[in-house]
């Protein structure tokens, strides 16, 4: 029997596969497409996702293929400088096309030992007390202890489970594609700047090799969302909004998207779980979708691995939903708000001007920026600690003798960092103990989960062994 079957070979699925393999779980990834998608939906990684890559020793790979850009201008495309005092060592956004992210994560999962099967389409599933049976389109049946649906907004897994996906349908739609154009770049830039004064769902930008990424409102384009728009649709919409079609031609790919927001009723049903877009969809404003899915996988991976290993504390796996579903709900809310602020309607533009004024206050700017880059997330981790770090991820603080904190997290294990005198006896197989200190860390000792969130502080409010039991299970005999 396979430990875990992951349905969907996008960024969420590949990240989850690698996290499970880090702990020795047997993993099969089923992806219905025979090749990785050629189109670029996501353009980069935000701070928390950059930290995730750093925590697993992957960041250098991504930096080789990406470009660092300063933070700012994320929230509803309101351009402000980066706020001061952001709690991170990675104060930038990494511009990197999703095609590259997809490839790097697939390579990482394969190197970790995941069995990746392309051209494998799920058509049915059944589960019982011992496991899940997955039925593929070619008649193959796979038996696994758990199955995770990472198969996108139209998730087959979610539909087969009968999990509700309530929310709001599209009110606005846009055409998106990559194509060449003949208009001079100066004309493109000047025209785009003028149009974007009122229509923020409009833009043209170079992606290399003479190709431009084109975004234009889809008002009046009648095909259903499953049909790729034609080049003539782009030309007509460009002329409608900009007065010119810029001589667009030779499209690489075309698609359309909308501003629908939906959140799964639950993330787990028995031995089947949902992650990424299978659990939540929202407008693409702020570029949070891919990042949200990666962080789902990072939260779920070590918990599911502990369950498979038989050492998970009671209800640990259920904390995946209790922690990540509220995060997704907040992302849906902030993208709804951003979408309203980007409307060309006079009332929305007035509110946008007001929000822009408020963002001149550094605290407001930081608050809204942290919603996008996901560094302000705090989980309810129980216990009785009172420190400001409890439940938050710890940034990559420098250590006096051990280098960087994140260099110690590549193995995906728990970590106790203290100045001496404490012990993880009985948990050495799951928790590393590092005797060191940092001038940038006030606490004398911290206990980190494998995802880097603080679950115990040496503040005298809770015994260390209680926290170890609660997050890592009983000690070894």
Task: Give the domain extent around 248.
Answer: 173-258
Same-domain check for residues 161 and 92: yes
pLDDT for 372 beyond 90: yes
Q: Which CATH number is 224's domain given?
A: 3.30.70.2450
- Does the residue 137 lie in any domain? yes
Domain boundary among 338, 373, 408: 373
What is the spatial distance between Cα 150 and Cα 272, in angstroms, rounded to a whole number? 11
Same-domain check for residues 30 and 129: yes
Q: What is the DSSP letter of 435?
A: E
Per-residue model confidence as pLDDT tens digits over 128-149: 999 999 999 999 999 999 999 9
CA distances from 347 to 77, 340, 352, 354 (A): 17, 10, 9, 11
What is the spatial distance between Cα 471 and Cα 418, in angstroms, rounded to a whole number? 18
pLDDT of res. 384: 62
Q: Is 459 in a helix, a strand, or coil? A: coil
Same-domain check for residues 82 and 182: no
Same-domain check for residues 279 and 355: yes
Same-domain check for residues 244 and 273: no
- Does the residue 386 lie in any domain? no
Q: Which CATH number is 10's domain given?
A: 3.50.50.60
Same-domain check for residues 242 and 269: no
pLDDT of res. 222: 60
- Beta carbons of 420 and 407 less than 8 angstroms apart: no
Same-domain check for residues 162 and 266: yes
- Does the residue 382 lie in any domain? no
- Does the residue 477 lie in any domain? no
Q: Where are the beta strands (DSSP E) in 181-247?
A: 203-208, 211-217
Per-residue model confidence as pLDDT tens digits over 32-72: 998 887 766 777 899 999 999 999 999 999 999 999 998 88
Domain boundary among 237, 258, 279: 258
| Model confidence, pTM | 0.93
pLDDT of res. 54: 98
| Mean pLDDT, rounded, of the chain | 92
Q: Are strands 141-149 and 2-7 parallel, antiparallel or unpaired?
A: parallel
Q: What is the DSSP letter of 452?
A: S
pLDDT for 209 beyond 90: no
Nearest to 30 by CA among 144, 153, 160: 144
What is the spatial distance between Cα 451 and Cα 242, in angstroms, rounded to a whole number? 47
With residue 116 as reference, give the H or E element that holds it: strand 115-118
What is the spatial distance between Cα 239 and Cα 236, in angstroms, rounded to a whole number? 5
Number of domains in the chain: 3
Per-residue model confidence as pLDDT tens digits over 304-348: 999 999 999 999 999 999 999 999 999 999 999 999 999 889 999
Same-domain check for residues 319 and 430: no
Same-domain check for residues 271 and 200: no
What is the spatial distance between Cα 336 and Cα 423, in angstroms, rounded to a whole number? 47
User: Which residues partner with 179 through β-bridges?
Assistant: 212
- Does the residue 353 lie in any domain? yes
Decide: residue 128, CB within 10 A, 0-12 exposed, 13-18 middle, 19+ buried.
Answer: exposed
Residue 225 — very low, low, confident or very high, per pLDDT cuts 50/70/90? Answer: low
Same-domain check for residues 158 and 213: no
Token duo for residue 158: 């979610």
What is the spatial distance between Cα 299 and Cα 377, in angstroms, rounded to a whole number? 12
- Does the residue 365 lie in any domain? yes
Same-domain check for residues 160 and 36: yes
Domain boundary among 227, 258, 289: 258
pLDDT for 300 beyond 80: yes
The proportion of the chain whose per-residue pLDDT surpasses 90, expressed as a percent, equals 79
The proportion of the chain whose per-residue pLDDT surpasses 70, expressed as a percent, equals 97
What is the spatial distance between Cα 477 and Cα 465, in angstroms, rounded to a whole number? 15
- Does the residue 383 lie in any domain? no
- Does the residue 379 lie in any domain? no
Same-domain check for residues 148 and 190: no
């Amino acid at each position: 029997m396979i430990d875990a079957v992951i349905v969907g070979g996008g960024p969420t699925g590949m990240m989850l596969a690698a996290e499970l393999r880090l702990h020795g779980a047997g993993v099969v990834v089923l992806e219905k497409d025979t090749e990785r998608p050629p189109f670029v939906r996501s353009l980069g990684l935000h701070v928390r996702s950059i930290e995730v890559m750093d925590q697993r020793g992957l960041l250098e790979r991504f930096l080789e293929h990406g470009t660092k850009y300063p933070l700012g201008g994320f929230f509803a495309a309101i351009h402000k400088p980066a706020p001061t005092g952001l709690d991170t060592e990675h104060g930038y956004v990494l511009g990197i096309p999703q095609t590259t992210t997809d490839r790097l994560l697939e390579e990482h999962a394969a190197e970790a030992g995941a069995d990746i099967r392309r051209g494998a389409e799920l058509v049915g599933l059944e589960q019982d007390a011992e496991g899940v049976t997955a039925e593929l389109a070619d008649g193959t049946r796979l038996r696994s202890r758990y199955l995770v649906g990472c198969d996108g907004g139209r998730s087959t897994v979610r539909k087969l489970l009968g999990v509700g996906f309530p929310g709001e349908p599209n009110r606005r739609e846009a055409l998106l594609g990559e194509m060449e154009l003949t208009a001079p770049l100066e004309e493109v830039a000047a025209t785009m700047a003028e149009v974007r004064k009122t229509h923020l769902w409009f833009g043209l930008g170079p992606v290399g090799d003479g190709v431009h990424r084109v975004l234009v409102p889809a008002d009046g384009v009648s095909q259903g969302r499953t049909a790729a728009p034609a080049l003539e649709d782009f030309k007509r919409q460009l002329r409608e909004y900009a007065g010119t079609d810029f001589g667009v031609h030779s499209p690489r790919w075309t698609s359309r998207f909308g501003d629908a927001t939906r959140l799964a009723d639950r993330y787990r049903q028995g031995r089947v779980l949902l992650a990424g877009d299978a659990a939540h969809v929202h407008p693409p404003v702020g570029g949070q979708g891919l990042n949200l899915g990666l962080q789902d996988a990072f939260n779920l991976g070590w918990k599911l691995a502990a369950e498979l290993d038989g050492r998970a504390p009671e209800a640990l796996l259920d904390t995946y939903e209790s922690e990540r579903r509220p995060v997704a709900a907040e992302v849906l809310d902030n993208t709804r708000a951003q979408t309203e602020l980007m409307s060309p309607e006079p009332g929305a533009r007035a509110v946008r001007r007001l929000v822009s004024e408020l963002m001149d206050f550094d605290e407001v700017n930081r608050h809204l920026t942290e919603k996008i880059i996901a560094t302000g997330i705090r989980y309810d981790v129980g216990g009785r600690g009172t420190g400001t770090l409890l439940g938050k991820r710890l940034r990559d603080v420098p250590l006096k003798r051990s280098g960087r904190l994140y260099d110690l997290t590549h193995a995906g294990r728990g970590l106790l960092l203290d100045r001496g005198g404490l012990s993880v006896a009985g948990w050495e197989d799951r928790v590393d103990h590092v005797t060191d200190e940092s001038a940038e860390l006030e606490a004398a000792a911290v206990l980190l989960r494998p995802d880097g969130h603080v679950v115990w502080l040496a503040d005298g409010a809770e015994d260390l062994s209680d926290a170890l039991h609660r997050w890592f299970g009983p000690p070894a005999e």
